[in-house]
Amino acid sequence: MPSTIAGSAPTRRRRSPRTQEERSAATRAKLVTAATECVAELGLRAATMGAIAERAGVSWGAIQHQFGEKDALLDAVLEDAVRSFQASLSEIRAAEPDPTLRVQAFLGRCRDLLNGPTYKAFIEIQMGRSRDASRETDAWSQYLGDALGDIWRELFGDLGLSRRRLEGAQRFAFAVLNGIAAEAMLFPGVDFAGRHLEILGETLRRLLDLES
């Protein structure tokens, strides 16, 4: 407890002002969150720089200063989504030594991801860019493939399966999750995610040799 002089108010320790680097990082994080929410709620085309700036509570010039153009901001949204996936799934293996229960935990995390804005924005951007034949996607595809492979090996790499078998299960799971997200965009208000995830769980248990 800070010492006081009789009759005087206790002294308060003043916080050190944030550095320029910290302020810049905070602004970038705010813009990525705003862009994620805008894309998830409005769609890729309607998520304009102006709409994102308004959501973030910053000027349009702040986006230009931090990212230069919309594509660079969308790149940051995708990278943040991958980091979110990794963070969400990283502790499952340690928490669930039983691989069958681990599959159930994985499906639960997937349901949470599908209900939030991050995965919706991820799919919206991916689908929008897939129609842009002029955009180079090789580097991003390699990065995404490596990141997903790391996640999957962390989840199920202890099962002793061949690399081909493990990658097949990974690609199938990712395809199903993408399909669920795309279906939700095409048919808003209709929720078949629970049934799809149930079938995904049944299939994963077979692919991972967990059926008794």
- What does the domain layout of the chain look like in residue ranges? 74-207
Q: How many CB atoms sit inside 10 A of residue 77's CB?
A: 25
Nearest in space to 51 (alpha carbons), one of 30, 68, 34, 64: 34
For residues 78 and 122, the answer to whether their CB atoms sit within 8 Å is yes
Residue 203 CA from chain centroid, whole number: 24
Specify the pTM. Answer: 0.79
Query: Token pair of 210, please?
Result: 């967990």
For residues 186 and 203, the answer to whether their CB atoms sit within 8 Å is no
Q: DSSP code of 76?
A: H
pLDDT surpasses 80 at 1: no
CATH 3.40.50.720 fits 74-207, yes or no: no
- Return the minimum-mean-pLDDT range out of 5-14, 96-105, 168-177: 5-14
- Return the minimum-mean-pLDDT range out of 35-49, 56-70, 83-97, 120-134: 120-134
pLDDT surpasses 70 at 16: no
